[in-house]
């Protein structure tokens, strides 16, 4: 039995490593085909094939497609290739492997057969997947020349430039009322499953959704081409009596573009849009990740410090009315405004031994207790005190990290 298990394990592949996502642009069909046929790990060919540019990366999650263990059984040398035209996201999906198990002899009652790879992946892709590699190559070459983002361009910012090329980044706003934008989102939405833990597809029949996309625009030798950088979906809730509340639901910068300031640019634009529109009461975020919280904290603090939002705050005894006034003026959620005020208070304190730090500690601990009251009241007094102290220390460490990056 042990020998059977050992033999079977040789046919198991980690699905995250087996899935290759490629953003491809190209001037020639032969260059695009060559880029797709290149072996994984051949950096020179993958990144700079003749007549084609390829950006290749892996997903962080594949459990929505291949199960919670993220393992695929029955193949050796497996590569699951999701090829996208860099701008239009025209898609070609294919599977390659060196060996496939048809049926392994076993003394157990369960037959060992290869997993179905094709069906689960196609269920999350748009219906308009290219049928052949040749069709996809033609589409990439055409889209490299003529694709333009759908929706309305609402913001632009600079990237690197040289004598031969210039990079700009553009943000577009769209809704599902626009047919082209709806079709584009259908091709784009698979990325949320690959990179946002617990994400699900949104209901595109709901007109209260808005989508903001970021594109890289390359101007070179008189030709302009676009590549998708990232996107965010924003839902507009009713806010009594006659306003609405914007909530960021999904927010993603694709891995090759992370760490370059694009998330900050997109978030700052969305916040500025909310600030500039009297119909909006505030901006909130649905279930943010730690990485998003860090980015959001940095940008909100830069904005608030720039606008002297904390000029009238003296000491840690901040009245709830003052928090509400700042929240409504700068259109942040109450939770986020409170966090920013706490960071501002910490920034003002010179020493942890000062009276000001003692008042700050009490102010933050009261907030921690209020937000976790049900959980804390179930503990005995000593354990409750320890948990609040641990939470306070963790909060302060996080605030100091954010403040050091401003």
The residues carrying an active-site annotation are 286
Beta bridge partners of 97: none
Cis? peptide before 241, omega within 30° of 0: yes
Distance in angstroms (rounded) separating the CA atoms of residues 328 and 245: 12
- Give the strand pairing for 243-253 and 280-285: parallel
> How many angstroms from the chain centroid is the CA of residue 39?
28
Q: Quote the DSSP letter at residue 232.
A: E
| Alpha-carbon torsion angle 290, 246, 207, 193, nearest 10 | 0
Instruction: List, in sequence order, the alpha helices (H) in 78-199.
Output: 118-122, 133-146, 179-188, 190-195
* Residues whose CB is less than 8 angstroms from the CB of residue 13 and which lie 6 or more positions away in sequence, other chains included: 71, 72, 73, 75, 76, 78
- Are 185 and 176 within 8 A, CB to CB? yes
User: Could you give the 3-state DSSP secondary structure of residue 259?
Assistant: coil
DSSP string covering 264-329: HHHHHHHHHHHHT-TTEEEEEESS--HHHHHHHHHHHHHHHHHTTTTTT--SS---HHHHHHHHHH
- Are 173 and 152 within 8 A, CB to CB? yes
- Are 226 and 87 within 8 A, CB to CB? yes
């Amino acid at each position: 039995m042990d020998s059977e298990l050992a033999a079977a394990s040789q046919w198991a592949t980690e699905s995250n490593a087996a899935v290759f996502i490629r953003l491809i642009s190209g001037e020639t069909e032969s260059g695009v085909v060559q880029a797709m046929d290149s072996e994984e790990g051949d950096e020179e060919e993958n990144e700079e094939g003749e007549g084609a540019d390829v950006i290749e990366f892996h997903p962080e999650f594949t459990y929505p497609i291949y199960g919670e263990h993220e393992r695929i059984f029955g193949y050796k040398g497996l590569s699951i290739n999701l090829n996208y035209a860099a701008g239009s996201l025209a898609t070609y999906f294919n599977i390659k492997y060196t060996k496939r198990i048809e049926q392994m002899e076993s003394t157990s009652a369960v037959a060992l057969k290869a997993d179905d790879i094709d069906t689960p992946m196609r269920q999350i892709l748009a219906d308009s997947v290219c049928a052949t590699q040749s069709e996809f190559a033609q589409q990439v070459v055409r889209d490299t020349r003529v694709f333009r983002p759908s929706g309305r361009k609402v913001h632009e910012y600079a990237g690197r430039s040289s004598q031969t090329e210039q990079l700009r980044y553009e943000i577009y706003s769209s809704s599902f009322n626009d047919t082209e934008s709806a079709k584009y989102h259908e091709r784009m939405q698979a990325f949320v499953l690959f990179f946002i833990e617990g994400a699900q597809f949104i209901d595109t029949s709901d007109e209260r959704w808005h989508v903001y996309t970021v594109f890289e625009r390359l101007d070179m030798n008189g030709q302009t081409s676009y590549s998708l950088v990232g996107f965010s979906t924003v839902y507009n809730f009713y806010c009594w009596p006659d306003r609405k509340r914007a909530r960021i639901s999904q927010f993603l910068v694709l891995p090759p573009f992370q760490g370059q300031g694009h998330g900050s640019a997109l978030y700052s634009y969305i916040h500025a849009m909310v600030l500039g529109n009297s119909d909006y009461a505030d901006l909130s975020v649905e279930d943010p990740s730690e990485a998003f919280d860090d980015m959001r904290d940095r940008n909100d603090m830069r904005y608030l410090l720039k606008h002297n939002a904390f000029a009238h705050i003296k000491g840690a005894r901040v009245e709830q009315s003052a928090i509400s006034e700042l929240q409504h003026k700068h259109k942040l959620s109450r939770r986020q405004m409170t966090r920013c005020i706490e960071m501002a208070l910490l920034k003002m304190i010179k020493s942890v031994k000062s009276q000001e730090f003692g008042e700050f500690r009490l102010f933050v601990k009261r907030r921690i207790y209020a937000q976790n009251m049900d959980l804390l009241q179930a503990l005995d007094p000593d354990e409750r005190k320890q948990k609040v102290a641990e939470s306070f220390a963790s909060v302060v460490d996080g605030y100091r990290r954010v403040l050091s990056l401003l």
